[in-house]
Amino acid sequence: MTDKLPEAPDRPPLPPEDLRWVCDPDSFDFDCTSELDPVREIIGQERALRAITLGLEMRSPGYNIFVSGFVGTGRNTTIQRVLQHLDRGTVPPDDLCYVHNFSKPDRPRALFVPAGKGARLRDGMQRVIRHLGRDIPQIFESEPYRKGKEQIRDRFRTRTRELIQTFEERVGAEGFALVQVQVGPMTNPEVVPVVDGEPKFLTDLEQAVEAGEFPKERLEELREKHREYHGELQEVVKGAMKIDSEMNSAFAEHDRNTIRPLVKHCVDEIREEFTEQSSVLEWIGQVEEHLLTHLAPFTSTDEGEEKGEGSESEGDFPGSGVVEYQVNLVVDHSGTKGAPVVVENTPASAQLFGIIERKWSRGGEETVDHTRIRAGSLHAANGGYLVLNASDLFHEPAFVWNTLKRTLRTGLLEIPISEPFVVLGPPAIKPEPVRICVKVVLIGDAHLYALLYHYDEDFKKIFKVRADFDTEMDNDPENRRLYGCFVQGLVDEEEILPFDRTGVAELVEHGSRLAGRRRKLSTRFHRIADLAREASHFARKENAPRVHFEHVRRAREERDYRHNLSMEKMQDLIREGTIFIDVDGRQVGEVNGLAVYDSGEFSFGIPSKITATVSMGNAGIINIEREADLSGRTHDKGMQILAGFIREKYAQEKPLTLSASVCFEQSYHGVDGDSASSTELYALLSSLSGIPIRQEIAVTGSVNQKGEIQPIGGANEKIEGFYDACAAKGLTGRQGVMVPEANRADLMLYPRVVEAVRNGKFHIYAVATIDEGIEILTGVVAGKKEGRRRYPRDSVNGRVDKRLRELAEQMREYGHP
């Protein structure tokens, strides 16, 4: 058929030099990276650096930083280096202590003290308790103390005796006596009448009256007097108890007066060190007053007696168990220089905001006090900088993010007294919130930033600075040299072998391929570093003193081999004929399309047969993938654009009445993207025109409604994928790939493909329009309209137009409008 049709002019394929940019090793001003200084600054991230610097230097509220970018672009390294070199001053922030609140015991009090003094306050209070525990028992055992206490006891006992003696003399004169009556384990005083020289209880006299041995009238007189004296006895007992209470108060006052100089001496040592901290002085005063009124723990020796000799430890002394005087140092900046930098890798609630520890014994939960309070990263970073990974943060329950926002918005940090999903009730204490000033750096990606910015109203108010890390930088001599400096940094830090200039050139070429554009170099340096490490490994195995380009190339090939199992399996299926791919001959309505599969570390291209069929009808162009629910939205859009092109080019003078279907054959896992839209269009044009398409040419490229071929991604992988399929079946010298002209500058093909092109065994064509592409695929001229005239009769467009007219006429003949 094609020999009767007007042949299209030959379109030369791309020359080998257009298929790969080569970094000339001689362009470097060094022979080995050991001649270079290792790079200290961040490479290729000037925009992000300026944003980070602004955020860190701004002191206004809300200027926290969200760092967005791909993994491996240096986000974490940049933040750490910038913070290391930032002028963070020389004065660290205050230490934070929690102490007992004597006025509100369930609300532990927060004390800020200058850096390093928190430990002194804690240790000073421990010394005070230790000294008091040692000295108070000795004072209470001293002779002056005992004499003073005996004098107080004698004075009050004398008063008690005089009170009782006066009462006894009064009732004795009336014929009554004061006796002690045993009531269980206790004795109570009682007034009883004296009859015949002996004290008699009224119950005994009542029995004597019944027996006729004692006059009844006398019993009534005694009972009346007993009632009177019993009331007076109660007053005497009350008086004695009051005297006893006054004696105990005198004892307590005696204890306080005796101990006060000791307590004051011990506490004054701490006061002298905190003369400028009014809150500390206030608390110390409360400690002193509490000590003087709660001396019992310092006089108890039961615990020591139970332990016996040889078991004494540092905490085993009277008063050691009293927590009211202990200082809980939760943040210690004694070793900090300037503003602190905290990197929190586990941003759970307890790690960020602190926690109140709860301990359990066999009898249940132990008492919770201020010594169980533990600080979080925000406490530690107060006055400085906190670095968080957004991915880790949002893997935590939602209340963690909400609490962080509230803390940054209000500047007030509260330790959560309970957490959701915890069955147990909150602890019995609620620590005092602390005022914080911290700069938070949140590391995430662009997608997460967009979600938070649009759907979280608080986010844009508290993260006002975005530092966006780029994945590429200009491919210029300075940046190529920086690749060498980067490698030398790895040499110094990890002791890999130095690279010669050819090894660096190979790394630069790999960086350009990763960037996907010749004019750019990748800034995803973790991948460059991995390749450099592996190249050094292979160089060591050969006992080479330096890493040469061959070592880098081998490392890349070995890496590809480790990850290309899926690719090899699919290529085997193509070679065996299980997957239908023709790499020779011509077919109507069939084109080899190209798709990219991404397995994470490795991306590869695989050809896929695309077919189109046409019949009479008015269903339009049917996307079989969409009908099977295997088509993504972008692919659906590409099909709509394809239909728009058909209407624009061929349906201006007649109705478009056809039923056509387009299909990715042997595709079962879904199709998305529009990079095959030109391929699908070529298949449809072939089916309409009846002109067969060369099967040795695979196609990729997106098309717009005007028939222009638009650039696509993964051009290198797609070309290499079809080359491998052709090489497996046998290269004929006619095979090749057709790519968009706009992708010409992006080509960075592997040397094996470039060598095949140089030897004339494989070809790469670049096209800018559908007409250019259809001429290469069919060998037939596309055909152009001249004015209002139709397309040339035997051109591709002429035959398509003719077929569409025939379909329209046939539909009309069958009575369809």
pLDDT tens for 615-634 read 988 888 888 888 888 888 98
Tell me what percent of the residues of the chain surpass a pLDDT of 70. Answer: 93
Is the pLDDT reported for residue 363 higher than 70?
A: no
pTM of the model: 0.77
pLDDT of residue 365: 62
Please report, as a single letter, which amino acid is at residue 555: A
Is the pLDDT reported for residue 669 higher than 90?
A: no
In 3D space, the residue among 247, 282, 27 whose CA is nearest the CA of residue 154 turns out to be 247
Rounded alpha-carbon distances, angstroms, from residue 243 to 162, 187, 190, 751: 11, 19, 19, 109
* Tens-place pLDDT, residues 625-662: 888 888 889 888 988 999 999 998 988 888 888 889 99
Residue the block writes with tokens 């529009």 = 674
Is the pLDDT reported for residue 328 higher than 90?
A: yes
CA distance 92 to 336: 6
Is the pLDDT reported for residue 422 higher than 60?
A: no
* Tens-place pLDDT, residues 391-419: 999 999 989 999 999 999 999 999 987 65
* Tens-place pLDDT, residues 134-178: 888 888 888 888 898 888 888 888 888 888 888 888 888 878 888
Is the pLDDT reported for residue 479 higher than 90?
A: yes
pLDDT of residue 2: 44
Residues 740, 768 contacting (CB under 8 angstroms): yes
Long-range contacts of the stretch 357-361 (C-beta < 8 A, 24+): 358/424, 358/427
In 3D space, the residue among 729, 608, 763 whose CA is nearest the CA of residue 680 turns out to be 608
- Give the residue with greater pLDDT, 235 vs 479: 479
pLDDT of residue 307: 39
Q: What angle do the packed helices 216-271 and 278-293 form, to 10 degrees?
A: 150
Mention every residue, 6+ apart, whose C-beta is less than 8 A from residue 562: none
* Tens-place pLDDT, residues 677-690: 999 999 999 999 99
* Tens-place pLDDT, residues 48-72: 888 888 988 888 999 999 998 877 5
pLDDT of residue 72: 59
* Tens-place pLDDT, residues 515-548: 988 899 999 888 999 999 999 999 999 999 999 9
CA distance 301 to 311: 14
Q: Region 568-596: what's the mean pLDDT?
A: 93
Rounded alpha-carbon distances, angstroms, from residue 792 to 79, 322, 785: 65, 105, 7
* pLDDT confidence tier of residue 469, bands split at 50, 70 and 90: confident
Residue the block writes with tokens 């533990």 = 374
DSSP 490: H
pLDDT of residue 362: 65
Is the pLDDT reported for residue 305 higher than 50?
A: no
Strand partners for 661: 613, 622
CA distance 232 to 450: 89
pLDDT of residue 122: 93
Is the pLDDT reported for residue 311 higher than 60?
A: no
pLDDT of residue 172: 82
Give the three-state DSSP class for 371: helix
